[in-house]
Amino acid sequence: MNKDFTDDTFLARWLDGKLSDVELEAFEKRGDFHSYKKIVDTANMLKAPAFDTEKAFKALLKSRGAIIRKPAYSIWSYAVAASVAIIMGIFFLFPSEIKFNSQLGEQLAFNLPDGSSVKLNAKSELSFVKKTWKEKRDLNLNGEAYFKVNKGSKFTVHTNKGNVSVLGTEFNVFARDNYFEVQCFEGRVKVDYMGSAVILKAGDAIRYINDNEELWTFTQQSPAWVKGESTFKNLPLKEVVLALERHYKIHFEAKGVDLSQRFTGSFTHDNLKLALKSVFYPMDIKYKIKDKNQVLLFRK
């Protein structure tokens, strides 16, 4: 609102029908008047909040740097005024963002607004803005996801380390901390990382571990993890241990074990003992299950 409507009791007086004719006429001529009225109409349909509304309104005014005066109007008017401010803030800060989260030991499968499909691996998060989806198919990913993208506008997956762009294809993205990996299963993908760009075709893969680039090829038609098994090719053991923790909701303690050594192999998602044998027996690493959530790694 402009300077004519900055009085901290203005909204309350408007809602309480206490504005002067001049103030009301001026307010109704403002371009945002109908937006305020629509929000208030919606707020009126909500159940009255079960908290100290006067205290909440004072806190809101204080956070805006306004002078707190003694209430001169009904508490309900102040409560609705606070609701208007809060709802307006939500509308501007969160423009219809859609978010998906998978928990430890959980995988999620869902479709995007254009019919493209996504599978989230354990402990991963993906979000996008639905309002602008048709014009801009942009997503934010933290974790691992497998995408089957329908043809259409540019489709970009943003991560904290790099971005992957396509028009229509199948690919897998892994992005956590200092580990970023992309595998292309169909079509082509463009991988942007730290200012450089690489084009991958079907069967190509690239990863960056602590900013070190590694390229390789593969023959499988889809990620093994979507079928209940995790596979690794020449990956530091630390990343394999973290994958085991995400899938089995466990925690590892390593004593005298070098987690930087490389591992090639796989483990199943439905049998912890078998998974531990598959990973650590070939590497001559001993393990002991201390309880259902703790595993000790050691060498004799």
Same domain, 120 and 210: yes
**Number of residues that this document lists for the chain:** 300
Answer yes or no: is 154 within a domain.
yes
**Residues 201-254: pLDDT tens digits?**
999 999 999 999 999 999 999 999 999 999 999 999 999 999 999 999 999 999
CA angle in degrees (0–180, nearest 5) for 83-84-87: 80
CATH of residue 266: 3.55.50.30
User: For residue 134, what is the domain's CATH number?
Assistant: 2.60.120.1440
Cα separations in angstroms, 167 against 139, 149, 154, 187, 267: 14, 7, 5, 9, 33
The count of structural domains within the chain is 3
Answer yes or no: do 83 and 107 share one domain. Answer: no
Same domain, 260 and 184: no
Domain extent at residue 51 = 3-93
Does 122 share its domain with 156? yes
CA distance 71 to 64: 17
- Same-domain status, 27 and 109: no
In tens, the pLDDT along 120-151 reads 999 999 999 999 998 999 999 999 999 999 99
Token pair belonging to 76 = 């309900």
Residues 85 and 126 placed together within one structural domain of the fold: no
Confidence of residue 270 (pLDDT cuts 50, 70, 90): very high
17 inside domain:
yes
Q: Based on the fold, state whether residues 112 and 191 are members of the same structural domain.
A: yes
Average pLDDT over residues 278-297: 93
Residue 232 and residue 205 share a domain: no
Last residue of a domain, one of 74, 93, 112: 93
Last residue in a domain, options 217, 239, 264:
217
User: Per the domain annotation, does 26 fall within a domain?
Assistant: yes
Dist. CA 203–CA 221, nearest whole Å: 8
Q: Is residue 223 part of a domain?
A: no
Same domain (yes/no): 140, 195: yes
